[in-house]
Amino acid sequence: MEELSLTNSEWYVLDCLWERNPRTAMELVSELKCKVGWAKSTTLTTLRRMEEKGLIRATAAGRTRHYTPAVERRGAAARETRSFLEKVYQGSVGMMVSAMAQDKALSREEIDQLYEILRKAEAKES
């Protein structure tokens, strides 16, 4: 799938489907009403638009439509992360981590995780 930016609404729907699929429209209506307060019409419109964009697939069983994601969470998250880095930090991971560290937004556990990520990246370079 080409570069594509997901809206917040599309993320809500995909999160539900990545968690468990297939799901019926009514299951999604119920869950999204609880999670984000959407009306039935909002959910159904969003599902139709996402299907048209190729983000989800629908199969019919009688009058019931069953939805599954057409994009993988990992790929979508990677694209969104690259887009965020480009938009906010000119593509620099270092600038982002520096900003977070200066604002004390990193816990000790997160710092340890970053060290481990860097050790693994360094090992791949060798």
Same domain, 98 and 58: no
Tens of pLDDT, residue by residue over 12-52, are 999 999 999 999 999 999 999 999 999 999 999 999 999 99
Same domain, 61 and 108: no
Question: Is residue 35 a contact partner of residue 111, using CB atoms and an 8 Å limit?
Answer: no
Same domain, 82 and 119: no
Is the per-residue pLDDT at 79 higher than 50? yes
pLDDT bin (cut points 50, 70, 90) of residue 1 is very low
Same domain, 47 and 99: no
Same domain, 100 and 50: no
pTM score of the predicted model: 0.78
Same domain, 101 and 85: no
Is the per-residue pLDDT at 2 higher than 60? no
Same domain, 80 and 35: yes
pLDDT bin (cut points 50, 70, 90) of residue 3 is low
Nearest to 94 by CA among 65, 57, 66, 121: 121
DSSP string covering 21-45, please? -SEEHHHHHHHHHHHH---HHHHHH
Tens of pLDDT, residue by residue over 88-119, are 999 998 898 888 888 877 888 988 998 898 89
Same domain, 112 and 59: no
Structural domains in the chain (count): 2
All residues at 6 or more sequence positions from 43 whose CB lies less than 8 Å from its CB, including other chains: 13, 25, 28, 29, 32, 33
CA dihedral 43, 48, 53, 59 (to 10 degrees): 110
Domain of 98 in residue numbering reads as 93-126
Question: How far apart, in whole angstroms, are the C-alpha atoms of residue 122 and residue 126?
Answer: 7
- Unique residue bearing structure tokens 């799901």: 23
Same domain, 39 and 81: yes
Question: How far apart, in whole angstroms, are the C-alpha atoms of residue 62 and residue 90?
Answer: 50
Same domain, 72 and 105: no
At 67 the pLDDT is: 98
Same domain, 66 and 111: no
